Amino acid sequence: MKFRDGMWMVAEGMRVEYAEEVYDITETDKGLSLLCPSRKIRSRGDTLNTSTLTIDLEAPHDGIISVETTHWAGAARKGPHFDLFPGGQPKFEPKVLKGDKGTTLSSGSLSATVSSEEHNFGIQFHSSDGSKVLTSLASRSVGLAYNPAPSNPLQTGDMRDFKHYIFTQTNLGVGESVHGLGERFGAFNKVGQSISLWNADGGTSSDQAYKNVSFWLSSRGYGIFIDTPGRVELEIGSERCCRAQTSVEGQRLKWYIIYGPTPKEVLYRYSILTGRPNKVPSWSYGLWLTTSFTTNYDEATVNSFLEGMKERDTQVDVFHYDCFWMKGFRWTDFVFDSEKFPDPKAQIARLKSSGLVSKVCVWINPYIAQHGAAFKEAAEKGYLVKRKNGDIWQWDLWQAGMGLVDFTNPEAVTWYTDCLNELFDKGVDCIKTDFGERVPTLDVEWFDKEIDPHKMHNFYAFLYNKIVYEALQKRYGDEEAVLFARAACAGTQRFPLVWGGDCESTPEAMAESVRGGLGLGLCGFSFWSNDIGGFEGYPAPWIYKRWVAFGLLCSHSRLHGSSSYRVPWTIDGDDRSNEGCSRTLSRWTALKTRLMPYLIAQGSRAVEQGVPLSLRATCLEFPEDPTAWYLDRQFMIGESLLAAPIFDEAGEVEFYLPKGRWTCFFTNRVREGPGWFRERHGFGSLPLYVRENTLLVLGKPGIRGAVYDYAADVEVCLYQVKEGASADLLDSSGKALGTLKIAADGSALEGAEFLKGEWTKSNDGRKMEDESPSKTIEWL
């Protein structure tokens, strides 16, 4: 939403009024309240026929200041509202000081100073110690706008034909970059982009996003969280090159500035404000498999796929039944297709007892087709969203006559939960919560009459995933619940995990997925996945194999397609060679299995810090490196591993290593950063480098399946370690066992009493038990 036509003119059809000065400052219990008229007040007469903007600055927590701008305070505060400080808000006392430069509100490490200059408007946000200026609200940076522009103030007595906006413009410093705002598939740095935060089912190759998160992270050591689930329009250096503009339709705009100074500290404070991710069970890190979206799920087909995987030395931990576990035209009615599942409980039990898979997942969505068994009951009892005339809201997009579950109705929530429990009774362990983006805003009325339909559009994803996640927690335990969700908004990180949506089977789409995962991770989502091989289309063997390498280094890994299978032998005619799809999948699945002691420990730490496990943007670990803020073709896996996916059939790849010594995982050869490097790889490797001063615990070679004893028969690998280097040890339930640590002499290992069996220690990288990948790596 642009309000100006260049620097000098207002955009056509707009009337814009700015906060021109801070006329009055009132100290409140929580901070400061600023009265800001839209003209400079030089005489008493100037106070007449003039709009004002009230700016409330509050300090709810150390390092966090909220900024709420209001035009007409009488506007109703309709919900839904984000669930802030879900873990409880700590008591905090802000400080207000008056000095020569202005009035300062301090929130621990972060302060906001309101300029004392007469007839001036200015608010500077800075570290409380004065060492760093973060951003500011300068002249003509806060305002209101009408569209169309009223020609007479009397016209605003009837606002039905006008749209009213509030906007703020925070300053962008020279060289500052902006990241996040959800799972966005375009350029990693958002400066220069116009972005609309509005959930949509748009695939991974447009400016639309399934997961719009109203939070962005700056390279200058702060973040901005916009506290509204409604549509937010951002012009990030795209209306004024030196400013990031945020606008909403309405009478209020509230956002929080969050100080680090490091990006990890920003995300930690953001997680206190909006919620930390929960832990995920160890089995969820393993390989997930489905026979694909439109394909069959009869027992013979499922068994043949799982037996084929086992024969080719790949263990599947979770089998997923996508849409057609229910009959067509009946989604979602929670009823297994009786032709494919004559006895679903027994069929699922046989599947698990066979040892081919340990857990089962099924697909659902919140849309109830009128031909399904669930529709009649939901309609009669008022569990579906209605039109304003009392009819049930329906359309034929996606499912014929589908309605939408009204999660603002407590009885509808109970009914939906009962439907889920029937699935759990049949042996279902986890749920794929698909869709949730197509939520109507026009001609709808929710059960809760205090709901604003426009705010519910994005927020629906939070309610939907929360209800399903809590049902899983109640059945299986707080840390055994796991989702596979597509839609999200701020706060949904509390209900892991999510996947990247419908991508094409191309290298470009794989790169889009990387950018999406990086951006979402910078919004506090610890766990993320994507459809290996691409969802749409038929991947060429080389794309499939490159994607397998990338996908098995994500926190979670799933083989899933649309109308074609993703089991490896269907991709390349069952090439059984070392470079074939089957062997490639087996090798990368085995590598992830070996990494499980590291992944489970790093996953626990990621949850505590509110940061991503994988994909973790390089800038989170190396914020002082300017190059790290522009890297969108590589990622960190936890704190110590760096991976660079390959998007080229020939295997050539260019990547960047920050300052320090880095060891190639596959060869133990060492590179010195910072710098750009080029390599060529076969399908069994990619640039996977271990950071110096790393103590890496690897599971025993040959183990199949993600769940095993992570302290038994392990290999403890030392990479240029110094005194104090450490690694946490967790068991397969996520319980902490202890910490391994390098002693003062730089070589002795403390904490070895926590290890079991025939464990080994490798002092210069890991033991090379499989030399074949290293033979295909060329340094260019």
Beta pairing, strands 670-680 & 652-664: antiparallel
Which entry of 201, 337, 434, 512 is annotated as an active-site residue?
434
Taking the CA atoms of the chain, what radius of gyration do you get in angstroms?
27
Q: What is the rounded CA–CA span in Å between residue 289 and residue 277?
A: 24
Which entry of 227, 502, 621, 632 is annotated as an active-site residue?
502
Nearest Cα to 207, choosing from 198, 219, 215?
A: 198
Return the percent helix, strand and coil in the chain, to nearest 5.
25, 30, 45
Phi, psi of 279 (to 5 degrees): -70, 155
Active-site residue 502, yes or no? yes
Contacts of 300 (CB under 8 A, 6+ apart): none
Q: What is the rounded CA–CA span in Å between residue 149 and residue 4?
A: 13
Contacts of 167 (CB under 8 A, 6+ apart): 1, 3, 142, 143, 144, 145, 245, 246, 247, 248, 253
Phi, psi of 626 (to 5 degrees): -60, -35
Cα 727 from chain centre:
26
Residue with tokens 């207002």: 10
Which entry of 437, 480, 621, 639 is annotated as an active-site residue?
437
Q: What is the rounded CA–CA span in Å between residue 208 and residue 201?
A: 7
Residue with tokens 């700016």: 55
DSSP per-residue letters across 444-495: -B-SSTTB-HHHHHHHHHHHHHHHHHHHHHHHH-TTT--B-B--B-TTGGGS
3-state secondary structure 53-116: EEEEEEEEECCEEEEEEECCCCCCCCECCCCCCCCCCCCCCCEEEEECCEEEEEECCEEEEEEC
Q: What is the rounded CA–CA span in Å between residue 54 and residue 635?
A: 43
| Tokens describing residue 293 | 């979206």
DSSP per-residue letters across 168-235: EEEE--TT--EEEEES--S-SS-TTEEEEE-B---TTSSS-BSBEEEEEEETTSEEEEE--SS-EEEE
Contact indicator for 115, 122 with CB cutoff of 8 Å: yes
DSSP per-residue letters across 519-570: HHHTTT--BEE-EET-SBS---HHHHHHHHHHHTTSSSEEE--SSS--SGGG
DSSP type of residue 426: T
User: Which H or E run includes 738?
Assistant: strand 736-742
Phi, psi of 360 (to 5 degrees): -130, 135
Contact indicator for 629, 189 with CB cutoff of 8 Å: yes
Contact indicator for 292, 322 with CB cutoff of 8 Å: yes
DSSP per-residue letters across 752-769: GGG-BSS-EEESSB---S
Contact indicator for 420, 471 with CB cutoff of 8 Å: yes
Active-site residue 83, yes or no? no
Number of neighbours of residue 191 by Cβ within 10 angstroms: 18
DSSP type of residue 384: B
Query: Which residues are known catalytic residues?
Result: 434, 437, 502
